[in-house]
Amino acid sequence: MMATPEPRPAGWRPGKMQMALAGLGGLAALAAFGLPGLTARITGSTVPPVELARAAAPDTAIGDAARALASRLSARAEAVTLSIPPEARAIGTMTEAITPGGARVVLDWQPATQPPLLMREVHAEEELRLVEAMAKHLPDGASVLAMPATSARLSALTAARWPLAGAAAFVLAPGAGADQAAALRAFAGADAPADPEADAAARALVEALLSEDAGGAARLRVLAGTGEAYALVHLHDAFALGLIRDGALPMLWRNFTATGFSHDLAREAKAEVALAGHAAYAIDRNPEGNLRGHFLTRDADTATLIAQLLPFDTSRLGEVPGMVLVYQTGGYWLYRIAPVSVGD
């Protein structure tokens, strides 16, 4: 079993970045995720240092859920718009909790670009529902395996153990130049030391999620070790994995014209799958409240653990061996990892 990471220093930034991604240019109504050739490792960069710019956002940008989360930390909530050099293009609005000690915890992140820069979407309403459910139902001493940025964020808001909270975050930088990628890395704490054991666990989690479902679940059991353990995945983790791992989970998204979950929506989604030859789809709402389709483009990817744990139309939710669905809210799906039995 992995040791619990030491308390993190002030600031939400979860550590140095493992990968920066480039090669996906511009915005489109139908954006490609995880296409081959998009990944570039940034090491020993000599580009001039640049920084993301912060501009105060109006208080109206801070929702009730964000304020409720901040109150759990005896913190104040602050919203800022982030922009990236050199053209000072806005990349999103972030709401953070600022604790009395100066630590920053992300409560909400609404990207202004698609695909997103820096990190996946974070919705305070989802976070609050998840935190409240965990406080009520998660056993004392339980550990939760989740992506590093999710782990770092929720470790401040829950009593659970998050073994990957000390790992380096996977910072998203699709289409960014070297200087822009460096600015994103710097904002995310690219030079902060990460926990080597947590880093190794983060890599193992990615391997498990991208493996065939039964084999991936078995890997999670090994990674979880002994004790009560859970796995937390989000629909947008699939897209992040498509950006993080070159050639893994190439995905597409598009907004639907249907305004509600209905037969019309199902017909529209299935028509898109048939027309474009996609393998599977899942649906959520974008920050504006519009319905949005997320499409797996390869048949083989529907058998991965991440695809089977999330609500794609080809998944077997709650039926993956060794993974017991215990809670769902918004894009979050929480599973109990079945313990290793004697003789396994």
For residue 117, what are the CA distances in angstroms to 81, 176, 234, 241, 314?
13, 9, 17, 14, 29
Per-residue pLDDT of the chain (344 residues; tens, 9 = 90+): 444 333 333 333 333 333 333 333 333 333 333 333 233 332 333 445 678 999 999 999 999 999 999 999 999 999 999 999 888 999 999 999 999 999 999 999 999 998 899 999 999 999 999 999 999 999 999 999 999 999 999 999 999 999 999 998 899 999 899 889 989 988 987 567 789 999 999 999 999 999 999 999 999 999 998 899 999 999 999 999 988 887 888 888 887 766 666 666 667 777 777 776 788 989 888 777 778 888 999 999 999 999 999 999 999 898 999 999 999 999 999 999 998 765 55
- Parse the chain into domains and list their residue ranges: 20-250+298-337
Encoding tokens for residue 250?
């190439």
**Alpha helix ranges (H) inside 227-318:** 235-244, 263-276, 305-309
Alpha-carbon distance of 194 to 169, in angstroms, equals 9
The answer to whether the CB of 38 falls within 8 A of the CB of 174 is: yes
Strands 291-296 and 323-329 turn out to be unpaired
Distance CA 207, CA 210 (A): 5
pLDDT for res 258: 63
- What gap in Å lies between CA 75 and CA 63, rounded to an integer? 15
pLDDT at 214: 95
Which residues are CB-neighbours of 28 under 8 A, at least 6 positions away? 114
Residue 185: which of 342, 11, 324, 13 has the closest Cα? Answer: 13
